[in-house]
Amino acid sequence: MNNQAMEQEDETKPLWRHVSKLRKTSGGGNNLIKCSLCDFSFNGSYTRVRAHLLQLKGEGVRSCPKVSSSKLVEFIENRDVKEKKGPSTTCIS
Ligand SMILES: [Zn+2]
What's the mean pLDDT in 1-10? 50
Per-residue pLDDT tens digits for 16-74: 899 999 999 887 778 999 999 999 999 998 889 999 999 999 999 999 999 999 999 88
Secondary structure (DSSP) of 6-23: HHHHHHT-GGGGGEEEEE
Calculate how far, in angstroms, residue 27's C-alpha sits from the geometric centre of ligand 1: 24
Residues surrounding ion ligand 1 at CB below 5 Å: 35, 37-38, 40, 64
- Tell me which amino acid residue 75 is: F
Residues 81-87: contacts with CB under 8 Å, at least 24 apart: 82/12, 82/13, 82/14, 83/13, 85/9, 85/12, 86/9
Question: Measured in angstroms, how far is the CA atom of residue 88 from the centroid of ligand 1?
Answer: 22
Q: What pTM value is reported for the model?
A: 0.70
26 alpha carbon – ligand 1 mean position (Å): 23
In this structure, the chain runs to a length of 93
Give 62 Cα–ligand 1 centroid separation in angstroms. 9
In the reported structure, the alpha carbon of residue 65 is separated from the centroid of ligand 1 by a whole-number distance in angstroms of 6
